Chains A and B, each alone.
Chain A
Amino acid sequence: MATTKVPEVRDIMRIERIGAHSHIRGLGLDDALEPRQVSQGMVGQLASRRAAGVVLEMIKDGQIAGRAVLIAGQPGTGKTAIAMGIAQSLGPDTPFTAMASSEIYSLEMSKTEALSQAFRKAIGVRIKEETEIIEGEVVEIQIDRPATGTGAKVGKLTLKTTEMETIYDLGNKMIDSLSKEKVQAGDVITIDKATGKISKLGRSFTRARDYDAMGAQTQFVQCPEGELQKRKEVVHTVSLHEIDVINSRTQGFLALFSGDTGEIKSEVREQINAKVCEWREEGKAEIIPGVLFIDEVHMLDMECFSFLNRALESDLSPVLIMATNRGITRIRGTNYQSPHGIPIDLLDRLLIITTSPYTEKETRQVLKIRCEEEDVELSEEAHTVLTRIGMETSLRYAIQLISTAGLVCRKRKGTEVQVDDIKRVYSLFLDEARSSQYMKEYQDSFLFNETQTSAMDVS
């Protein structure tokens, strides 16, 4: 397959650790929402990717707030990858919260509290801050101190931009804060008009040669353009959960950073909802319904499912994406059987996307992408062997073998992973099927052995 390689520029900081889905950069769709066979780290799964693309467009338009999508499929068929792809394509401005169902079983807060926090993390509120500032390069500061030592100081501050220059008379307070900030001629400063706060942006380039030696922290900036008095507007996006935390009085704002927020009273939530709705009506805020992704959704129990039913109907509700690898199974907390372990009434509200197992060619492609991601060179034969292993055992196992084989290869100072390296790690690490086989053979010699036990109940 002839592919032109486009070098992708990535942050050095971000490749320090490589996660299972770090190679996913989007859904790999073209402008007409047609999936490309291999693109943005995605391989195959054309139908499901196309479906996800449609969902994505609807999310972007804000059309399906309060709806839910279920991604169902066998293990290792790229369910989480598709969810990650959606998250990546949404861009940084739409809130995306990912959680595993088991996270809600915590001793510190109730299940529904954990769920509502997750829901509210996935809703963004866009607000705007407006400040009048004076921004310019200091031409001259002149401060007259009275001869007696006490009494009011007076001063003059000359500021300029590339277009204009003016003189400000200074009062006592401004003089104090100017000397506190150690402002001198040649600095570029901003003064907040409402609060009088002075901040230094750096030194002007034109003054770069004033001194021969300067501290490393000295930053040089251009002399500002345009008028001196500017109006600065900054748009922020915060999540509802963050506003909740700030306002739940017992915690104080430090709770946001420790991550331990405890329970938030429902009254606080209601107040916040009311305030945000008021802001929205006054045109002060926009609500951005984001995406909440719940992995392994069959681990939720009956209470949570009915909570979801209810929560989806609220007008401040994000798009819910769930993933599961279960077939018809028992709903947790009940004795009823249901498809995907999800109650029928909730299933009825979902858009369901299915993923199918990868073909051999696709497996080969996925392995190739992972090799690039993990910086492992693979010889052609080793690649074929690994693909075989991936087909016969599981894709995840084959992916595990990449990095381990890479290590073995480096140990013998090779540059390219050969078939022997794969063989070696294949004998070192068992896959799931071989491990179970081993269990069956040597069951008698393990401790607490109960020969009667049938398949483990995992639900």
Chain B
Amino acid sequence: MDADSQFVLQYMTEIEEAAEDVLTTKQQILDLNIKRNTNREALNALKTAVCDSEKVQVCFGNMFIKLPTSKTKEILKRDQEQLDMQINDLRKGLKAKVNHVYEMQGKPELRGYNLCPLTSDEVMAINSILKG
């Protein structure tokens, strides 16, 4: 292969890799989100259905373990916090990755992409323009 096609091939590979990276991150966020929602369901169920003194069966991997309710709640809550943090981090990273793909394809950067969002008060104040 001559140098030109070599270059093109390498370029395409790089873009594909970057795009693949974006897709994996998206999938990861999705998976974490599913987990977060099942945890939330579990917490709700514990709050309403079971009284505190009983023990509940918790499934870890492929094994059921009996744990006190309060302990289970604590584990779940910690897990939720962890998940929230991970999702936030991934979302932040996703932006940079998408930008990278755009840059490699020679597309202009998305407008206003790097702006910090207004606070809800400020949005409220300015809402009448935005809706009009």
Contact = CB atoms under 8 A, between A and B. Distances in A.
B9 interface: no
A382 interface: no
Nearest to B29: A227
Contact of B116 (A93, A164, A284): A284
Contact of A128 (B26, B118, B125): B118
Given A128-B116, A226-B30, A246 B111 contact: no
Contacts of B122: 284
A130 B117 contact: yes
A194 B41 contact: no
Given A127-B118, A235-B115, 20 more contacts: A126-B111, A129-B118, A130-B118, A164-B30, A164-B34, A167-B41, A169-B48, A194-B120, A226-B30, A227-B33, A228-B33, A236-B130, A238-B129, A238-B130, A243-B129, A246-B129, A283-B116, A284-B116, A284-B117, A284-B118
B37 A235 contact: no
B126 interface: yes
Given A166-B37, A238-B126, A283 B115 contact: yes
B23 to A, nearest CB: 11
Interface string A238-272: 10001100100000010011000000000000000
22 contacts: A127-B118, A128-B116, A129-B118, A129-B123, A130-B117, A130-B118, A163-B34, A164-B30, A166-B40, A169-B44, A169-B48, A226-B26, A226-B30, A227-B30, A229-B37, A231-B91, A235-B113, A246-B126, A253-B128, A256-B132, A257-B132, A283-B116
Nearest to A253: B128
B115 A127 contact: yes
Interface size class of B (residues with CB under 8 A): 20 to 34
A246 B128 contact: yes
A134 to B, nearest CB: 10
B5 interface: no
A228 B37 contact: yes
Interface string B27-61: 00110011011101100100010000000000000
Contacts of B40: 166
Contacts of A164: 30, 33-34, 37
A156 to B, nearest CB: 9
B2 to A, nearest CB: 28
Interface of B: 26, 29-30, 33-34, 36-38, 40-41, 44, 48, 91, 111-118, 120, 122-123, 125-126, 128-130, 132
B96 to A, nearest CB: 15
B115 A246 contact: no
Nearest to B128: A253
Contacts of A167: 41
B115 A284 contact: yes
Nearest to A129: B123
Nearest to B35: A164
Contacts of B30: 163-164, 226-227
A373 interface: no
Contact of B114 (A130, A228, A283): A283
B107 to A, nearest CB: 15
A166 B91 contact: no
Contacts of A374: none
A127 B126 contact: yes
A282 interface: yes
Contacts of A194: 120
